[in-house]
Homo-oligomer: A and B are copies of this chain.
Amino acid sequence: MITSGPTRQYLDPVRYLSNASSGRMGAALATAALELGHEVVVISGPVQIDYPPRAHVVPVVSTDDMLEASQEWFKKCDGAIGAAAPCDYMPRFVESQKIAKTGAPLTLELIETPDVVATLGQTKLPGQWVVGFALETEDRRFRATVKLEKKHCDLIVSNGPSAIDSLDNHVELLDAAGDVVASVHGSKQQVADVLLDHIQQRLIGRVSGTKAPG
């Protein structure tokens, strides 16, 4: 299972909070996983890109939607890759009508949305695995290590904001001990292929040979 793309948190029927995640990394990971012979389900926020036709795509809008669909589908999957950038704050109150401009400042109280990858990491069954992504603008490796542990990930991919809505990516892959096991720079498809090779060897290979390629 791959989560992909952004989610949206609406303030009112028109305005929302989001980010520029394109879903390209998720699509590249889906392609790489299909190439290795896996079945793939993609839980995707609103994106414009196309996922590979052989992937089963479940469209969602909000982070709650993504969490709910991910929990449901994860039960049927061997592992999860959290390549989405779920909107991690939501307005405490959502207005049912468009907020009218008054000329005055508008104070918006935001609360955290549920953490999709952390929830999967905390509820994974023996044999299931979870790979997270950490996007940080500073202290990248340290913060990735913190997220790895907090979210109970088996591997975490650390990348920077230049990855967003870009064709390329530059990532570090950290194992559960926090050691950097790969550093990859290239197109998102090249990066995805290398990541899937590591996932295949380190996580899928260990699961009593199920779904091994060939």
Binding site of A, secondary structure by majority: helix, strand, loop or mixed?
Answer: loop
Whether a CB of chain B sits under 8 angstroms from the CB of A48 is: yes
Residue on B with the closest CB to A46? Answer: B20
B109 touches A88 (CB 8 A): no
Residue on B with the closest CB to A102? Answer: B112
A89 touches B13 (CB 8 A): no
A17 surroundings in chain B (CB, below 8 A): 11, 15-17
Q: What is the CA–CA distance of A45 and B153 in the complex, to the nearest angstrom?
A: 37
Contact with B along A6-22 (1 / 0, CB 8 A): 00100111111111100
A110 touches B112 (CB 8 A): no
Q: How far, in Å, is A23 (CB) from chain B's closest CB?
A: 12
Q: What is the CA–CA distance of A29 and B46 in the complex, to the nearest angstrom?
A: 25
- Chain A residues with a Cβ under 8 A of chain B: 8, 11-20, 46, 48, 85, 87-89, 92, 97-98, 100-101, 103, 105-112, 135-138, 143, 161, 164
A-B contact pairs, 13 of them (CB 8 A): A13-B161, A14-B164, A15-B18, A16-B19, A18-B18, A97-B137, A98-B135, A98-B136, A105-B109, A105-B110, A106-B109, A107-B107, A107-B108
